[in-house]
Amino acid sequence: MFRTDLPLWAVALAALLSGTAAKAAEPAGSGAVPAPILDATLEPVRRDGARRFDPRPAPFVLTVDGGSVPHDVLAITVLPGETVRLATGGPRLPGYEMRFGAGRAVAEAQGEWDWTAPESPGVVPVTISAPGGASVRLNVLVAHPAASIRDGLLGEYRIGAYRSTPLRGDPAYLPPRGFIEVSPADEDVLVSPHFTLGEFLCKQPGLPRYLALSTPLVLKLEAVLEAANARGIDAPGLTVMSGFRTPWYNRAIGNTTDYSRHLWGDAADVFVDADGDGDMDDLNGDGRADLSDARILASVVDEVERGGHSHVVVGGVGLYRRNAAHGPFVHVDARGTPARW
User: For residue 145, which of 77, 92, 192 has the smallest C-alpha distance?
Assistant: 77
Q: Could you tell me if 88 and 177 lie in one domain?
A: no
pLDDT at 93: 75
Contact 65, 84 (CB under 8 A): yes
Cα(69)–Cα(304) distance, integer angstroms: 18
Contact 214, 74 (CB under 8 A): no
Mean pLDDT confidence for 74-86: 98
pLDDT one-digit tens code per residue, 51-61: 889 999 999 99
Q: Could you tell me if 321 and 230 lie in one domain?
A: yes
pLDDT at 91: 72
pLDDT tops 80 at residue 152: yes
Which residues share a beta bridge with 331? 269, 318
In this structure, are strands 135-142 and 157-158 parallel, antiparallel, or unpaired?
unpaired
Q: Residue 10 falls within a domain, yes or no?
A: no
User: For residue 113, which of 134, 132, 92 has the smallest C-alpha distance?
Assistant: 92
Cα(96)–Cα(111) distance, integer angstroms: 6
Q: What share of the chain is helix, strand, coil (3-state, %, to 5)?
A: 20, 30, 50
Q: Is the pTM of this model over 0.85?
A: yes
Cα(164)–Cα(316) distance, integer angstroms: 23
Number of domains in the chain: 2
Which residues share a beta bridge with 124? 140
pLDDT one-digit tens code per residue, 203-230: 999 999 999 999 999 999 999 999 999 9
- Domain boundaries, position 175: 144-341
| % of the chain residues with pLDDT over 70 | 91
Contact 114, 84 (CB under 8 A): yes
Measure Cα distances from 220 to 102, 104, 216, 300 in Å.
29, 31, 6, 11
Q: Count of residues for the chain?
A: 341
Contact 117, 80 (CB under 8 A): yes
Q: Could you tell me if 125 and 229 lie in one domain?
A: no
Q: Residue 14 falls within a domain, yes or no?
A: no
Mapped onto helix, strand or coil, the DSSP state of residue 339 is strand
Last residue of a domain, one of 114, 142, 170: 142
Last residue of a domain, one of 81, 111, 142: 142
